[in-house]
């Protein structure tokens, strides 16, 4: 993925609004994608995953959309809460590879 | 069930010193990984292991060594620490990366002065 240097992209949303976090992935052969949430001082936590044979998957308050045509992944969070404030990473795994490649992350800031 | 445990959580080293970071998982996972995370950047893979007794290089292996003598433990060594190795180090494990994602530890913050 691209490096954005020292400054992460930041998304600020009002509490209660919906959030959409985007990720462009690099490998058209990637077949498995995961969104991770990382709170300050903690390790990344699994949120939701999607495989390349799907274009949408829903979890509790979260939805992941996959557009393979433009190699784009998005994470939608419904009714964003203060506890959703974190850095969100997308990760892709190539069809023949064993290791995930992580994007640089997006910081989500929830405003009261 | 502790998941993935990393020790220590914090460490300050002088340039040239050596140290070992320990990762332990209790989920019987075959695959284990060491990543480093620097400000504003994603996770970069240092080394990984696909099973007991195996290790392989990742994206940024220089200056690090690893060992997987027991299935539950994955050790990351710095033989001669450099300021460029100041980072947060994360260990992760997976049952099968083809099917599941990774479970991460809480990280080790290392400062090399």
Residue owning tokens 């691209």: A2
- Closest listed residue to residue B4, CA positions, set B74, B53, B59: B74
Residues 60-89, chain B, touching A (beta carbon < 8 A): none
Residue owning tokens 């994206």: B59
Tell me: the pLDDT tens digits for B12-38? 999 999 999 999 999 999 999 999 999
Tell me: the pLDDT tens digits for A46-56? 999 999 999 99
The answer to whether the beta carbons of residues B21 and B36 sit under 8 Å apart is no
Q: Is B34 on the interface with A (CB under 8 A)?
A: no
The answer to whether the beta carbons of residues B10 and B69 sit under 8 Å apart is no
The tokens for B1 are: 């069930």
Residues of B within 8 A of A104 (CB-CB) are: 40-42
Question: B111 pLDDT exceeds 90?
Answer: yes
A63: β partners: A58, A76
What is the SS3 assignment for A18? coil
Torsion-angle region of A53 (φ positive above 0: left; ψ -120 to 50: alpha; else: beta): alpha
The answer to whether the beta carbons of residues B9 and B108 sit under 8 Å apart is yes
CA dist., res. B106 & res. B89, Å (int) = 9
Average pLDDT of chain B to the nearest whole number = 94
| Exposed/middle/buried for residue A108 (C-beta within 10 Å: 0-12, 13-18, 19+) | buried
Q: Is A87 on the interface with B (CB under 8 A)?
A: no
Average pLDDT of chain A to the nearest whole number = 90
> DSSP character for B16?
T
Residue owning tokens 């994608």: A33
The answer to whether the beta carbons of residues B42 and B101 sit under 8 Å apart is no
Give Cα separations from B31 to A19, A72, B1, B76 (angstroms): 33, 28, 18, 15
Tell me: the pLDDT tens digits for B54-103? 999 999 999 999 999 999 999 999 999 999 999 999 999 999 877 788 99
Cβ contact A44–B48 (<8 Å) = no
- Closest listed residue to residue B103, CA positions, set A67, A22, A9, A36: A36
At residue A14, the pLDDT reads 97
Of A45, A89, A98, the CB nearest to B42: A89
At residue B57, the pLDDT reads 96
**pLDDT digit string (tens) for chain A, length 112 residues:** 333 334 678 999 999 999 999 999 988 889 999 999 999 989 999 999 999 999 999 999 999 999 999 999 999 999 999 999 999 999 999 777 668 989 889 999 999 8
- Number of CB pairs < 8 Å for A and B? 62
What do you get for the CA distance between the two ends of chain A, in Å? 32
Question: B5 pLDDT exceeds 50?
Answer: yes
Residue by residue, DSSP assigns B49-100 as ESSTT--EE-SS-TT-EEE-SSTTEEEEEESS--GGG-EEEEEEEES-TTT-
């Amino acid at each position: 993925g691209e490096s954005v240097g020292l400054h992460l992209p930041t998304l600020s949303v009002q509490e209660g609004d919906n959030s959409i976090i985007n990720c462009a992935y690099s490998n058209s052969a990637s077949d498995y994608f995961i969104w991770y949430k990382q709170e300050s001082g903690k390790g990344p936590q699994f949120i939701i995953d999607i495989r390349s044979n799907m274009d949408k998957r829903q979890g509790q308050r979260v939805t992941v959309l996959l557009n393979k045509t433009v190699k784009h992944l998005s994470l939608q969070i419904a009714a964003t809460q203060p506890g959703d404030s974190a850095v969100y990473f997308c990760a892709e795994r190539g069809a023949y590879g064993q290791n995930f490649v992580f994007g640089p992350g997006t910081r989500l800031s929830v405003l009261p | 069930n502790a998941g993935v445990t990393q020790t220590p959580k914090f460490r300050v080293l002088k340039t040239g010193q050596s140290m070992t970071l320990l990762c332990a998982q209790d989920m019987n996972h075959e695959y284990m990984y060491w990543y480093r995370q620097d400000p504003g950047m994603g996770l970069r893979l240092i080394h990984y292991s696909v099973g007991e007794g195996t290790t392989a290089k990742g994206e940024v292996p220089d200056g690090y060594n690893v060992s997987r003598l027991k299935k539950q433990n994955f050790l990351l060594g710095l033989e001669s620490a450099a300021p460029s190795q100041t980072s947060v180090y994360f260990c992760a494990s997976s049952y099968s990366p083809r099917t599941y994602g990774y479970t991460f530890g809480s990280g080790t913050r290392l400062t090399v002065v």
